[in-house]
Amino acid sequence: DAGVIQSPRHEVTEMGQEVTLRCKPISGHDYLFWYRQTMMRGLELLIYFNNNVPIDDSGMPEDRFSAKMPNASFSTLKIQPSEPRDSAVYFCASSPQRKGTGVYSPLHFGNGTRLTVT
């Protein structure tokens, strides 16, 4: 399996521009998570989906951020307009549906997109 695939690996953009980050989860996984990592705040959960439906977006910092999952094999995180404080590494992770108590399904993370907003 190729694992969770994120693109692009690096993105440099100017303040005010729209940025779209992409994620392809592992085939068959029902859950998809978007995290953001900065030196100051560490790893933060932004939003997660179950079967393509957003379940909890309480971590999304502001209305400038939006995430979609149009199908089971693709998700996007969009920032519009971008600001310098959005500079961070954005990770996507996926996991399968657990089958019950005692059955463990770890999260599988991609290698992230490093976003720099100048």
CB of 64 to other proteins, least distance (A): 23
Tell me how far, at minimum, the Cβ of 118 lies from other proteins, in Å.
21
Residue 66 or 89: which CB sits closer to other proteins? Answer: 89
46-53 long-range contacts (CB < 8 A, ≥24 apart) are 46/77, 47/77, 49/75, 50/97
Concatenated DSSP letters of 25-54: PPTT--EEEEEEEETTTEEEEEEEEETTEE
The b-or-e profile of 51-67 (16+ CB within 10 A means b, else e) is eeeeeeeeebeeeebeb
Tell me whether residue 31 or residue 65 sits nearer to other proteins (CB atom): 31
**Binding positions for other proteins, rule: CB under 8 A:** 4, 30-31, 33, 35, 42-45, 48, 50, 56, 91, 93, 95-101, 104-112
CB of 15 to other proteins, least distance (A): 25
- Measured from the CB atom, the residue of 65 and 91 that comes closer to other proteins is 91
Structure tokens at 23: 């994620």
Min dist. Cβ of residue 16 to other proteins (A)? 28
Residue 71 or 99: which CB sits closer to other proteins? Answer: 99
